[in-house]
């Protein structure tokens, strides 16, 4: 079943879906360096897979369409390492808002941003807020690790290192479950070069950073030596299920016009 894919529709079918009150999910990802061991398409491989599977599940319970994944994001902090395509934060914010404007022009009144790259998150939330201020529409936005935090904690995903981290044990486990042939195992370091935990210092919502160290000393946050494909598959399934549940909940709020508490 792929009739939930926005890009498989025609202008006529999409106009009908807009009139019927469908929400559009816009997946956000990146193309950026992921250390010496993972492909630069890591966030997009993860983001495309989870968005497709979660939306396929959610589409059986709520009216939604999945737009094509935006595979270039805001990755300025990775440019120095090479292998990175990026928009500046101001350009990315404007681009997300203009994608939203395009959907509004097409008749859609419910827009959901689903993110798989940390650098996109602030602009994603701001774009969702700006669109809801400027138009009589519903918007929502979330990153997959926020939606699945409880489920991943129950699976002890933190034993892999930082969650999600960057090119460490957790992301490498996810890629091992999807496209293991893209991993350069000979380039994975040992524990002596691991756990730059200060990158995520402080409670959720806080930020601590230093010039040239925003992705770890060598462009990754923790060692991938413990990566495990079977565990990665469990983590991915938990992410998909958590995301699908959120999409159904938010989609039903939007479709039923439920008033949310301030």
For the chain, percent of residues with pLDDT exceeding 70: 89
- 161 inside domain: yes
Q: pLDDT band at residue 181, thresholds of 50, 70 and 90?
A: very high
Q: What is the DSSP letter of 110?
A: E
At residue 198, the pLDDT reads 46
- 2 inside domain: no
Asked whether residue 217 carries a pLDDT value surpassing 60, the answer given is yes
- 7 inside domain: no
Distances (CA, A) of 144 to 29, 181, 232: 11, 24, 15
Q: How many CB atoms lie within 10 A of CB 36?
A: 16
C-alpha to C-alpha distance for 252 and 74, rounded to whole angstroms? 30
- 260 inside domain: no
Q: Are strands 138-143 and 110-115 parallel, antiparallel or unpaired?
A: parallel
> Which is higher by pLDDT, 208 or 91?
91
- 248 inside domain: yes
pLDDT in tens, 36-90: 999 999 999 999 999 999 999 999 999 999 999 999 999 999 999 999 999 999 9
**CA 13 to centroid of chain Cα atoms:** 27
Domain residues for 41? 14-254
> Which is higher by pLDDT, 208 or 89?
89
> Which is higher by pLDDT, 75 or 213?
75
Any idea what the CATH number is for the domain that residue 84 is in?
Answer: 3.40.50.10310
Asked whether residue 208 carries a pLDDT value surpassing 90, the answer given is no
* Two tokens, residue 195: 């756990």
Asked whether residue 167 carries a pLDDT value surpassing 70, the answer given is yes
- 139 inside domain: yes
At residue 202, the pLDDT reads 61
- Average pLDDT on 206-225 reads 77
DSSP letter for each residue of the chain? --TTBGGGS-HHHHHHHHHTT-EEEEEE--B--BTBTB-TTHHHHHHHHHHHHHHHHHTTTS-EEEPPPB--B--GGGGGGSS-BB--HHHHHHHHHHHHHHHHHTT--EEEEEE--GGGHHHHHHHHHHHHHHSS-EEEEEEHHHHTHHHHHHTTGGGGSSSS-SSSHHHHHHHHHH-GGG--GGG---GGG---GGGG-SSTT-----TT-BTBTTS-SS--TT--HHHHHHHHHHHHHHHHHHHHHHHHHHHHTPPPP-
Asked whether residue 261 carries a pLDDT value surpassing 80, the answer given is no
- Average pLDDT on 151-166 reads 96
- 237 inside domain: yes
pLDDT in tens, 110-146: 999 999 999 999 999 999 999 999 999 999 999 999 9
C-alpha to C-alpha distance for 22 and 55, rounded to whole angstroms? 13
C-alpha to C-alpha distance for 179 and 262, rounded to whole angstroms? 43
- Work out how many domains the chain is built from and give that number: 1
């Amino acid at each position: 079943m792929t009739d939930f894919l926005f890009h498989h529709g025609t202008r006529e079918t999409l106009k009908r879906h807009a009139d019927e009150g469908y929400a559009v999910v816009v997946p956000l990802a990146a193309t950026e360096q992921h250390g010496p061991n993972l492909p630069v398409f890591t966030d997009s491989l993860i983001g495309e897979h989870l968005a497709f599977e979660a939306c396929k599940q959610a589409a059986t319970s709520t009216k939604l369409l999945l737009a094509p994944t935006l595979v270039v994001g805001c990755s300025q902090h990775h440019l120095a390492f090479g292998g990175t395509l990026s928009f500046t934060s101001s350009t990315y914010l404007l681009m997300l808002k203009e994608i939203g404007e395009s959907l509004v022009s097409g008749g859609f009144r419910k827009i959901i941003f689903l993110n798989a790259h940390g650098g996109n998150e602030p602009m994603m939330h701001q774009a969702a807020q700006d669109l809801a201020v400027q138009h009589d529409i519903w918007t929502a936005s979330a990153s997959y690790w926020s939606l699945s935090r409880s489920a991943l904690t129950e699976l002890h995903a933190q034993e892999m290192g930082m969650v999600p981290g960057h090119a460490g044990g957790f992301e490498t486990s996810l890629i091992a479950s999807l496209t293991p042939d893209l991993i350069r195992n000979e380039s994975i370091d040992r524990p002596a070069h691991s756990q730059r935990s200060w990158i995520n210092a402080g409670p959720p919502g806080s930020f601590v950073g230093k010039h040239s160290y925003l992705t770890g000393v060598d462009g990754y946050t923790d060692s991938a030596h413990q990566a495990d494909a079977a565990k990665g598959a469990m983590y991915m399934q938990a992410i998909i299920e958590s995301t699908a549940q959120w999409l159904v909940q938010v989609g039903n709020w939007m479709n039923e016009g439920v008033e949310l508490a301030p």
